Amino acid sequence: MLAIETEELTKDYAIGFWRPRPRRALDRLTLGVERGEIFGFLGPNGAGKTTTLKLLMQLIYPTSGRASVLGLPIGSLALKARIGYLPEHPYFYDYLTAEELLTYFASLFGLAPAARRARVAQLLDQVGIGAERRLALRKYSKGMLQRVGLAQAILNDPDVVFLDEPMSGLDPFGRRAARALIHDLRKRGCTVFFSSHILSDAEALCDRVAVLAHGRLAAQGRVADLVAFDVKGWELIVADADQALLGRLGPQVSKATEIAYGRYALELPANAAPDRLLAEVTASGAKLVSLNPVRETLEDFFVRHVGAADEAAIDRVDSR
Amino acid sequence: MRVIGSIALSVFRESVRDKVLYNLVLFAVLLIGASYLLGQLTAGQDVKIIKDLGLSATSFFGLFIAVFIGIGLVWKEVERRSIYSLLAKPITRVHFILGKYAGLMLTLLVNLGVMAIALYAVLAVMTLVGPRSLTAALDAPALDPRLLLAIGLIFVELALVTALALFFSTFSSPMLSAAFTFGLYIVGHFNADLKHFEQVVDSRPAAWLARALYYLLPNLGPFDVKALVVHGQPISTGYVLMTLSYGVIYIAFVLLAAMTVFARRDFK
């Protein structure tokens, strides 16, 4: 059984008052997320990521298509007891303290008072909210609110957690803690579905990703598969190199950057023969520091596929 | 029920921490206290004035509390998007509406209780300091327990007004919700004229429309028994039960309408 499954999920919004016309925010999304994986849902602004998350939370209703989570219908109480959700730009009741908010939410899950107190204390420790837990949320910074948001999303030890921009507003310590939390969730067998603009986080965390553009699925697959075989070039770092060596290598090198005295980073095209270059380096008396393939990053993949979707969208507009 | 109770307590806690509410209640209590001074102006009528003014202040300030908290109950949560994380918890939209309503009812109950205590306190002072002959000549005792009946009916009336405010809050902005709710409150006190509209206009369709509106719009006149209580007039148990039943049934229909509208709403 898949953790999350959508089939031709579509959402149209009516735009205009006197003559409403439909605007398609999500177009026949079909995807499946395996249990226990970290799934990245990527896309530019307005791609339909938040629309998808809101459909899965039943905050909005689909125009057509269907979706299920853990084999249960969207919006059922049995399902809600087993999932967690962090919305984008979370807002909570600013007159409550972090402790009061989590205690309130814990009461909705039916936790007994003693269990509530223990769970709330443990979660606030885990997300790094210390003495501030007794201050009203209106006094919290954006980063602190985001941490409280993460805590409320995992309050019930969920089987699936939906995170919309989980790193938003977090400082480097917070981002590290959030990444550790996500890894910890996976270790516990939780499925994590998160949407993000920060591709480096998705690349570091996700098992699989899907790229959404203009409401349509542009690409999906394992991160390793999407970027593994596309070697864009080579990076060769040499030490004790002289100008003569650089002159001989010149035509084969795309770019040479001096990073320290006598130490150069050389960018080579993908079709370069690195072993022949290594022989020249050694013969000249320079030392090899490192030789690494430069692979396509998730960002390169993203730009390529979203760019293609943009052109297709422009073609569709031009052909009307 | 547990979930509705949790949401209700959350609403009550928000109301208790709301400075506007404190100011309203304080002002109401001060006005009730000041009625003692007004009563001194008219010999023999002071107790009646205090009762009348006290009940009117309770009704007036209770109305403001009901409307100004009621119109924001749902709208605020949707506008600020705090509803996103709340509805992701194991609650339904029906729980949400009923919990919000129950929370405001609890708030109103406490506030009306405070005002009732203030009113009885002022009347107790009157009883202690006033001449015995004066108090013996009153139509009704100063510390008349029927004041609680009047306040009870005010509470049910405000419960109906709150339901209307909550209903409008499910789809409308606070300004419009306030306008609609106050509008219906005023209409509700003057709609007796709609029942016999054929006596005013010579048009059968107009009379039928007026009669239909009479039954559709809330009829709030029967909840106002201030004059009867202040002047010691009898109020039958049947009248009270009929009025309470009408209130409960109307509230149920309005809440059902609110739940129906809210259930299908997209939160953009």
Q: Answer yes or no: do A57 and B268 touch at CB < 8 A.
A: no
Rounded mean pLDDT of B188-205?
A: 76
Q: Give domain status of residue A118, yes or no.
A: yes
Q: A287 and A169 share a domain? A: no
For residue A247, the Cα-to-chain-centroid distance in whole angstroms is: 43
Structural domain of residue A253, as residue ranges?
231-295
Q: A289 and A223 share a domain? A: no
What is the rounded CA–CA span in Å between residue A259 and residue B108? Answer: 72
pLDDT at residue B204 tops 70: yes
Residues in chain A: 320
Q: A173 and A70 share a domain? A: yes
Q: A152 and A263 share a domain? A: no
Beta bridge partners, A26, equal: A11
Which of A91, A99, A139, A165 is best to mutate for the B interface (most B CBs within 10 A)? A91
Which of the four pLDDT bands, split at 50, 70 and 90, describes residue A15? confident
Q: Which of residues 7-46 of A touch B (CB under 8 A)?
A: 13
Q: A156 and A262 share a domain? A: no
Q: A83 and A131 share a domain? A: yes
Q: Give domain status of residue A302, yes or no.
A: no
CATH assignment at residue A127: 3.40.50.300
Rounded mean pLDDT of A122-144?
A: 89
Q: A242 and A220 share a domain? A: no
pLDDT at residue A182 tops 80: yes
CATH assignment at residue A257: 3.30.70.100
Q: A114 and A175 share a domain? A: yes
Residues with Cβ within 8 Å of B113's Cβ and at least 6 positions away in sequence, in order, are none
Beta bridge partners, A161, equal: A84, A192
Q: Answer yes or no: do A93 and B14 touch at CB < 8 A.
A: yes
**What is the reported pLDDT for B87?**
93
Beta strands A287-295 and A64-69 are unpaired
Q: Answer yes or no: do B10 and A104 touch at CB < 8 A.
A: yes
- CB of B13 within 8 Å of a chain A CB? The answer is yes
**What is the reported pLDDT for B140?**
65
Which of B10, B85, B90 is opposite residue A90, by nearest beta carbon? B85
Structural domains in chain B (count): 1
**What is the reported pLDDT for B134?**
56
Q: Give domain status of residue A314, yes or no.
A: no
pLDDT at residue A5 tops 80: yes
Q: What is the b/e burial string over A189-199, where b = at least 16 CB atoms within 10 angstroms of the residue's CB?
A: ebbbbbbbebb
Beta bridge partners, A68, equal: A5, A73
What letter would DSSP give residue B102? H
Which of the four pLDDT bands, split at 50, 70 and 90, describes residue A317? very low
Q: Give domain status of residue A315, yes or no.
A: no
pLDDT at residue A226 tops 70: no
State if pTM tops 0.90. no
Q: A9 and A138 share a domain? A: yes
| ipTM given for this complex | 0.84
Q: Which of residues 59-88 of B touch A (CB under 8 A)?
A: 80-85, 87-88
Q: A109 and A12 share a domain? A: yes
**What is the reported pLDDT for A316?**
46
Structural domains in chain A (count): 2
Render pLDDT for B30-78 as a digit per residue (tens, 0 to 9): 777 777 676 666 655 677 888 888 888 889 889 988 998 888 888 888 8
pLDDT at residue A315 tops 60: no
Local structure of B81: helix, strand or coil? coil
Helical ranges in A24-80 per DSSP H: 49-56, 77-80
Q: From edge to edge, which strands make up the β-sheet containing A231-239?
A: A255-260, A263-269, A231-239, A287-295
pLDDT at residue B242 tops 90: yes
Structural domain of residue B126, as residue ranges?
2-263
What is the rounded CA–CA span in Å between residue A42 and residue A203? Answer: 11
Render pLDDT for A233-284 as a digit per residue (tens, 0 to 9): 878 888 888 888 888 777 778 888 888 888 888 888 877 777 777 788 888 8
Q: Give domain status of residue B268, yes or no.
A: no
Q: A119 and A17 share a domain? A: yes
Q: A202 and A246 share a domain? A: no
Q: Give domain status of residue B136, yes or no.
A: yes
**What is the reported pLDDT for A312?**
56
Lowest mean pLDDT among A17-26, A153-162, B82-91: A17-26
Give me chain A's average pLDDT, please.
84
**What is the reported pLDDT for A176?**
84
Q: Give domain status of residue B121, yes or no.
A: yes
